[in-house]
Structure formats: structure tokens, C-alpha cells
């Protein structure tokens, strides 16, 4: 059953890729392009997205059967589920707005999320005692669904900014858009660099003293830029260039920080290569291809937040606090994951207030949607990979 699950996930990934190509064909810029041409490729893109979602849903069900519990208990499982919820949110909003351009950006982001998940251990393991609760599937799946819908507001907001911001001159706005695109490219860089070192069989071994004052061996699968605090290197591999800060306790904290640094470095290399090839800013190269109605993009962003925010609040805060009370005998404990869930809630609450009460539409709204997704991804990547807390078992 586990093999069937893996095959279904791989199939879904490839079908999503095909869907992206179909949507890209639907917005191809040709003077003799007819409406029928656009509708045909857009319909094929939508159908393939639905087929891919069905395959990934099959992965989810078969992995649930194989493991005996909801497959959202570690970073691989949660991140793949998050990507699936992004696709579901896109399908729903596409049915409402029939906008092919949204698929050109939404499907690649979902692909990046799923590819990012594939870099983490995929083994099926029993649940630790802290996760043996029905609240696991209630809290985590609801939170992921809300985040998936909110992610579409980011996609629509980013398209809006690429479409409307003047790319003929360099400005603060164009630089921030490039930073956003660089962050997406960094995920691609992380995937490539992880596969490269894993394929090469690279290992670097260190020994540290754990909390019980016993020696513990930790293994790096990438060259050690950030070594473990007070760790001893057991081989003659590269590095480390510096030690992980002592406040980042935990055997895997240094590995997570090292992975994060490599993601940024590989992203910088890829971004630089793209700039050399395109000989212009990436957003400037994309702008001629993005000819969607800005007012429609603004409405999609708002609609995604209006739907996703209450679902996220229900899953990430209300259900989470109920489970925390049962598991740890307190509703709130200022764990890093809890704090960033609260920050996400407050941010989107402020977004709705500013839009409905202060009239923040258009570009201001788009920037907020982009910033909101940055908060979500920081919670997913940095908080899980770098910070240590009660949720570190993920």
C-alpha cells in the first residue's frame, strides 16, 4: 500500500506539471490567437489539475491506510497535504472565475511545495504519544486547508504586482518583487542542492553531548556551513564555517539551520543565472505575458482571504487550543509555532480591517497578500527547520 501511495504522489506531481504547461499555452501571446484556442488549453489545464488532485487524494487515502493514522504527522506528510489543499483552493476559485492565468502561477507554487516536501524523510512510522489523538486530523487538516486557500491570495496578489508595477525603471517596488521571486527560486535551489548531495552520498559526521550528557552522533547530508554548538567533527569533510548559536538547542537544530543557509545560497546562484540569461529583472520578463484584469486579480485575492481566514482561525487557533488543553493542560504556551500562528491570524485580521474599513484595494491589498504568504512560509520552513519547541517533532 505504501508503494501505491508513493506512485500516486509521483503521478500527481507529473500531472500538475502537465497542467502548468496547458495553462501556459492558454495565455501564449500570439496576435492570431482566438478565444477558442485559449478556452481549449485552459480547459485541458483545469481537467489535468483535477486529475492530479484525484491522484494526490488517492495518495493521501492509501498512505492513511498504510500508516493507520492521518498522514499529516511530519514535515513530509504535512507539506504534501498543504500542496494538495493549494490545488483544491485553486480548483474552487477557477470554477468561480475561469481565469487561466491564475493556473500559470498557482500550479507551479503547488509543485514547489510538493517538491520541497519530497526532500524530507518519507518513512511511515508510528505516531508518538503526543500525536495519538483525533485532534491531529482535525487541527492539522483544517489549518492546512486554510493556509492553502490563503496561498491563492498570494498567487493572485503577486500576479497583480507583476502586472501593474512599472518595470521600466528600478524602484523599491521592483526590488521587493524580485526578492519575492528570489524566495520562490530558493525553494527550487533547495530541491536541486538536496538531490545533488543525496545522489552523491555526501555525509559529514559530528558528535555532541545530548541532554542526558551522553555522546550522540549527528550526520549532515550537506557540507557543514553551520556546525553543531560544542560539537566535535569526526571526519575531514568540509567546514564548519561557524557554530550554531547555543540557544538553538536540539540535536537537529544545526542541521536545520545548515539546510536553510544552503537554500538561500543555491537560490542566489539560480537567481543570478536567470538574470544573466534574461538580461533584465525576472518580473520585467514576466510582465508582457501577464495580461489579466487587475480588478479581477484584486477580487480573487480578497475572496481567497475571506474564505481562508476563518478556516485557518478555526484549525490553527481554536482547534489547536482545545488540543493543547487536552495534551499539555493549558490553552496557550507561547511555543514558537503557536506564536507564529497567532501572528498569521492577526495579520490577516488586519488585512480584512484595512480593506473593509480603510479601503485598501488594489496594490496595497496585493502587497499585504504577498506578505501574508511570507508569514505562512516562514512558519512552515524557518520555524520548523530552525526554531525549537513543542512542535519540533514535526
Q: Is the pLDDT of residue 43 over 50?
A: yes
pLDDT higher than threshold 90 for residue 323:
no
Instruction: Give 64's contacts (C-beta < 8 A, 6+ positions apart).
Output: 70, 71
Alpha helices by DSSP H, the chain: 2-26, 35-67, 75-97, 100-117, 135, 141-164, 172-200, 253-278, 282-286, 294-312, 320-328, 336-357, 363-380, 382-385
The C-alpha cell at 62 is 492509501
Across the range 234-239, mean pLDDT stands at 80
pLDDT of residue 360: 86
Whether residue 236 has pLDDT greater than 60:
yes
Interatomic CA distance for residues 246 and 15, integer angstroms: 44
Q: Which of 367, 329, 326, 336 is nearest to 350 (CA)?
A: 367
Q: What's the pLDDT score for residue 393?
A: 46
Q: Is the peptide bond before 240 cis (omega within 30 degrees of 0)?
A: yes
The confidence band for 286, taking pLDDT boundaries of 50, 70 and 90, is: confident
Confidence of residue 338 (pLDDT cuts 50, 70, 90): confident
**Least trusted range by pLDDT, from 105-114, 119-128, 139-148:** 119-128
From 76, 155, 160, select the one nearest 120 (Cα to Cα): 76
Cα(148)–Cα(153) distance, rounded to whole angstroms?
9
pLDDT value of position 385: 64
Average pLDDT, whole number, for the chain? Answer: 85
Using 50, 70 and 90 to split pLDDT, how confident is the model at 178?
A: very high
Residue 158: alpha-carbon gap to chain centroid = 15
Across the range 235-245, mean pLDDT stands at 81
- Between these two residues, 124 and 30, which has the higher pLDDT value? 124
pLDDT score recorded for residue 392? 53
pLDDT of 247 strictly over 50: yes
Distances (CA, A) of 192 to 115, 143, 195, 317: 10, 29, 5, 35
- The pLDDT tens digits of the residues spanning 65-78 come to 888 888 888 888 88
- Give the model's pLDDT for residue 386: 61
Q: What percent of the chain has pLDDT over 70?
A: 91
What are the tens digits of pLDDT across the range 361-371?
889 999 999 99
What's the pLDDT band for 394 if we cut at 50, 70, 90?
A: very low
User: HSE on the CB side for 221, CA within 13 Å?
Assistant: 17
Of residues 62 and 260, more confidence is placed in: 62
Residue 234, H or E segment? none
Check: CB of residue 218 under 8 Å from CB of residue 208.
yes
Which segment of 12-26, 188-202, 261-275 scores lowest on mean pLDDT?
188-202
**Rounded average pLDDT over 251-255:** 71
**Mean pLDDT, to the nearest integer, of 188-202?**
84
Query: Whole-angstrom distance between the N-terminal and C-terminal Cα of the chain?
Result: 23
Rounded-to-integer distance, Cα 306 and Cα 312, Å: 11
- The larger pLDDT score, comparing residue 386 to residue 256, is at 256
Nearest C-alpha neighbor of 111 from the set 69, 67, 56, 66? 56
The angle subtended at Cα 383 by Cα 261 and Cα 330, nearest 5°, is 160
**pLDDT score of 80 more than 50:** yes
Domain boundaries, the chain: 1-126, 138-166+293-393, 168-279
pLDDT at 389: 57
In a 3-state reduction of DSSP, which class is residue 248?
Answer: coil
Amino acid at each position: 500500500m505504501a508503494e501505491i501511495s508513493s506512485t500516486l504522489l509521483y503521478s500527481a506531481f507529473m500531472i500538475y506539471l502537465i497542467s502548468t504547461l496547458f495553462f501556459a499555452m492558454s495565455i501564449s501571446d500570439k496576435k492570431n490567437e482566438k478565444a477558442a484556442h485559449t478556452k481549449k488549453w485552459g480547459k485541458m489545464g483545469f481537467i489535468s489539475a483535477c486529475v492530479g488532485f484525484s491522484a494526490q487524494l488517492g495518495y493521501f487515502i492509501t498512505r492513511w491506510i498504510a500508516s493507520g493514522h492521518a498522514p499529516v504527522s511530519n514535515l513530509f506528510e504535512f507539506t504534501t497535504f498543504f500542496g494538495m489543499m493549494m490545488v483544491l483552493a485553486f480548483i474552487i476559485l477557477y470554477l468561480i472565475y475561469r481565469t487561466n492565468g491564475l493556473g500559470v502561477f498557482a500550479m507551479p507554487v503547488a509543485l514547489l511545495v510538493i517538491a520541497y516536501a519530497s526532500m524530507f524523510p518519507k518513512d511511515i512510522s508510528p505516531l508518538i504519544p503526543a500525536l495519538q489523538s483525533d485532534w491531529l486530523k482535525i487541527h492539522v487538516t483544517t489549518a492546512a486547508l486554510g493556509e492553502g486557500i490563503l496561498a491563492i491570495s498570494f498567487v493572485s496578489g503577486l500576479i497583480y504586482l507583476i502586472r501593474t508595477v512599472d518595470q521600466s525603471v528600478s524602484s523599491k517596488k521592483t526590488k521587493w518583487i524580485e526578492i519575492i521571486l528570489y524566495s520562490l527560486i530558493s525553494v527550487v535551489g533547495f530541491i536541486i542542492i538536496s538531490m545533488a548531495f543525496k545522489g552523491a552520498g555526501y555525509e559529514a559526521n559530528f558528535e555532541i553531548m545530548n541532554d542526558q550528557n551522553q555522546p550522540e552522533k549527528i550526520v549532515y547530508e550537506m557540507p557543514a556551513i553551520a556546525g553543531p554548538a560544542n560539537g566535535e567533527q569526526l571526519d575531514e569533510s568540509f567546514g564548519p564555517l561557524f557554530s550554531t548559536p547555543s540557544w538553538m538547542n536540539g540535536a537537529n537544530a544545526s542541521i536545520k539551520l545548515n539546510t536553510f543557509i544552503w537554500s538561500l545560497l543555491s537560490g542566489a546562484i539560480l537567481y543570478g543565472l536567470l538574470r544573466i540569461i534574461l538580461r533584465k529583472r525576472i518580473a520585467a520578463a514576466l510582465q508582457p505575458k501577464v495580461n489579466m484584469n487587475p480588478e479581477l486579480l484584486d477580487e480573487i485575492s480578497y475572496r481567497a482571504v475571506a474564505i481562508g481566514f476563518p478556516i485557518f482561525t478555526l484549525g490553527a487557533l481554536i482547534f489547536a487550543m482545545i488540543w493543547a488543553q487536552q495534551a499539555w493542560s493549558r490553552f496557550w504556551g507561547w511555543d514558537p509555532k503557536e506564536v507564529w500562528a497567532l501572528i498569521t491570524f492577526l495579520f490577516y485580521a488586519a488585512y480584512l480591517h484595512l480593506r473593509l474599513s480603510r479601503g485598501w484595494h488594489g496594490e496595497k491589498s496585493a502587497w499585504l497578500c504577498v506578505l501574508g504568504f511570507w508569514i505562512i512560509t516562514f512558519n512552515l520552513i524557518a520555524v520548523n527547520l530552525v526554531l525549537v519547541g513543542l512542535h519540533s517533532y514535526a
